[in-house]
Amino acid sequence: MGNTEALKNMDRAVQERTKVLFLEHQQRIFKQTDRLFVGLMMFQWIAGIVIALVISPKTWMGPASQTHAHVWAAIFLGGGIASFPVALGIFAPGRIMTRNVIAVAQMLFSALLIHLTGGRIETHFHVFGSLAFLAFYRDWRILIPATIVVAIDHMVRGIFWPQSVFGVLTASPWRWVEHAAWVIFEDIFLIRSCRRSVVEMRHIAERTAQLEAHNQLVDVKVKERTRELFESKEELASEITERKKLKNMMIQSEKMAAVGQLAAGVAHEINNPVGFISNNIEMLEQYTTDYTKILRMVENLQKSIEEENMEKAKSIVKAMSQFEQEINLDYIINDTGKLLQYTQRGIERIQKIVMDLRTFAREDHGAIDFVKIEEVIDSILSIVQNELKYKAELKKNYGDTPLVKCNTQRVGQVFINLLVNAIQAIEKKGAIEVKTYKEDGHVCVDVRDTGKGIEPKNLEKIFDPFFTTKPVGQGTGLGLSVSYEIIKKHGGEIKVQSKIGEGTVFTVQLPVNL
């Protein structure tokens, strides 16, 4: 309802605009043509004088001569005819009065010029030319006064000087009709052409008005769109920064998640040495009591010898050797060394795990290094080793690869993800193979497992953030998406091949010449 109303309004606006444009155009043409005729009037005036001076400069009476009446007529009558229309053309261009006076004057000029050239047939063309010229106004109505002037010229002269126009009375009515007929003949064509140009002008005005309306519409639309675009651009920009923040958070949280997943394994890894270290310490405590007893006996023996109480000394030595036999001193001495050695190793192991964990959980953005990829993998394997060894047999198959330029921390995170995924994919017991090799400009790492595999429909989703098939608490769905981002940043690629029930291979490719 509102729409049709608006359309109607627009239609009316276009119609009104059409009218205005048409009138403007018409007025422009009237003014232009008025100016044209101002020039033409002046030219005709001068031309008339020149013609009079050339054709009939003088009139004669025998040997005496005086200026011919034609010369005076050309100057004064010509000037008189031209004066008013020229003035109107200059001071009131575009008025109805102006073009009507011009039309009248133009036909008077025709008559004058015909006279000045002595009624030459050729000069009669001026009448027809003038009519055509007047049609420039595209206003057929001004042809009426023009035609009337031609008629009156003949009529008046017919009444007062019949012989001059029509010879003598006999031929008179026919001459008049013929002349008028030719003029009207031309008028008919000119009127038609005038009206047609007016119709065309209307069309042009209408089209222009429509175009204007359309352009206006387009303009408004463009402005609207521009504003929308601008707004959406800002939205997009803020979204992008939002996303960047989110991604950083994601990377961080995934790192934490990976560490979390590792925590159990790591706890075990640390627990194990801590367990046997405390065992060892218990044993060493026991041994230390024995050693203390023996040392006390040695002390008593030393005192008896100083007192030269040989009897007492002999019984102490006897008790000592009995005690030594009892506790198997040789074994204890041997075992003490071993226990200390194991404890030392256990502590070193704990130290290493803690150090590695620190490396990967660190908040900093990490430095870029030239590294051998196998070293990165090894340090990761040392973290996940414990988790791994209960589930799978690890096969390392390292090739001869060149150094790659990478962020060790980040790339390490990728391998933790892949290895943890591989371990989690294996249900009871399986094998995990890590293979490195060089392939056209890339260092490649295959992480292959004999796990349950990935369903084909999931293959294209696994790199999406938050896609996981694991129970809540175990999977975050971030591991692969973050890994993908990291490898992309390094200019590399990460690909997957999988078969249900057989296993999965992830291939990481890193460019060498980065």
Partner 1 sequence: MKRNKHAVIIVFIVWALIVGLGWALLSHYENVPGQSQPLPEHWPLATKVRRTPGLPTLLMFVHPHCPCSRASAGELSLIMAHSQKKVRAQVLFLRPETLSEQWVKTDLWDSAMRIPGVEVVMDDQGKEARIFHANVSGQVMLYDARGNLVFSGGITPSRGHQGDNDGRDAIVSFLTKGIILHKQTPFFGCLLFSSLQQS
Ligand X SMILES: Nc1ncnc2c1ncn2[C@@H]1O[C@H](COP(=O)(O)OP(=O)(O)O)[C@@H](O)[C@H]1O
Residues that bind ligand X (CB under 6 A): 417, 421-422, 425, 449, 451-454, 462, 467-470, 475-481, 504
Nearest approach, Cβ of 346 to Mg ion (angstroms)? 30
Nearest-CA neighbor of 419 among 272, 265, 252, 247? Answer: 265
Query: By the 8 A CB rule, do 183 and 125 touch?
Result: no
Number of residues that bind partner 1 (CB under 8 A): 46
Q: Which residues bind Mg ion (CB under 5 A)?
A: 421, 479
Instruction: List the single partner that 450 binds among partner 1, Mg ion, ligand X, none, CB under 5 to 8 Å by kind.
Output: none
- Near partner 1 by CB under 8 A, which window of 163-171, 278-286, 297-305, 317-325? 163-171
CB atoms within 10 A of CB 330: 9
Q: What is the C-alpha separation between 150 and 148, in angstroms, rounded?
A: 5
Q: Which is nearer to Mg ion, 127 or 425 (CB)?
A: 425
Token pair of 287, please? 């041994």
Instruction: Give me the count of residues in the chain.
Output: 514
Compute the C-alpha angle 123/124/130, nearest 5°.
Answer: 100
Instruction: List the single partner that 469 binds among Mg ion, ligand X, partner 1, none, CB under 5 to 8 Å by kind.
Output: ligand X
Nearest approach, Cβ of 261 to Mg ion (angstroms)? 7
Q: Which is nearer to partner 1, 7 or 69 (CB)?
A: 69
Show Cβ contacts of residue 398 under 8 Å, excluding neighbours closer than 6 positions: 374, 434, 435, 436
- Pick from 14, 77, 262, 416: which binds partner 1 (CB under 8 A)? 77
Q: Which is nearer to partner 1, 109 or 415 (CB)?
A: 109
* Pairs from 50-59 (Cβ < 8 Å, separation ≥ 24): 51/113, 51/116, 51/117, 52/116, 55/116, 55/117, 55/118, 56/116, 56/118
Which of positions 46-65 make contact with partner 1 (CB under 8 A)?
A: 55-65
Instruction: List the single partner that 266 binds among Mg ion, partner 1, ligand X, none, CB under 5 to 8 Å by kind.
Output: none
- Near partner 1 by CB under 8 A, which window of 14-22, 84-92, 198-206, 379-387? 84-92
Per-residue burial over 297-327, b = 16 or more CB atoms within 10 Å of its CB, e = otherwise = beeebeebeeeeeeeebeebeeebeeebeeb
Q: What is the C-alpha separation between 487 and 214, in angstroms, rounded?
A: 53
Nearest approach, Cβ of 287 to Mg ion (angstroms)? 47
Bridge-based pairing state of the strands 64-67 and 503-511? unpaired
By CB under 8 A, residue 161 contacts partner 1: yes
Instruction: List the single partner that 436 binds among partner 1, ligand X, Mg ion, none, CB under 5 to 8 Å by kind.
Output: none
Nearest approach, Cβ of 466 to Mg ion (angstroms)? 11
Instruction: List the single partner that 39 binds among ligand X, Mg ion, partner 1, none, CB under 5 to 8 Å by kind.
Output: none
Query: By the 8 A CB rule, do 416 and 258 touch?
Result: yes
Instruction: List the single partner that 470 binds among Mg ion, ligand X, partner 1, none, CB under 5 to 8 Å by kind.
Output: ligand X
Map tokens 């920064």 to a residue: 241
* Pairs from 339-343 (Cβ < 8 Å, separation ≥ 24): 339/280, 339/283, 339/284, 339/287, 340/280, 340/284, 342/276, 342/277, 342/280, 343/276, 343/277, 343/280, 343/281
Nearest approach, Cβ of 75 to partner 1 (angstroms)? 11
By CB under 8 A, residue 402 contacts partner 1: no
Query: What is the pattern of x (binds partner 1, CB under 8 A) and - over residues 171-190?
Result: x---x---------------
Q: Which is nearer to partner 1, 156 or 281 (CB)?
A: 156
Query: By the 8 A CB rule, do 187 and 127 touch?
Result: no
Nearest approach, Cβ of 167 to partner 1 (angstroms)? 5
Q: What does the DSSP 8-state code read for residue 73? A: I
The type of residue at 353 is: I
Nearest approach, Cβ of 481 to Mg ion (angstroms)? 10
Nearest approach, Cβ of 156 to partner 1 (angstroms)? 8
Q: Which is nearer to partner 1, 70 or 490 (CB)?
A: 70
Q: For binding to partner 1 (CB under 8 A), which residues are involved? A: 55-66, 68-70, 73, 76-77, 80-81, 83-84, 88, 92, 97, 101, 108, 111, 115, 118-121, 153, 157, 160-161, 163-168, 170-171, 175
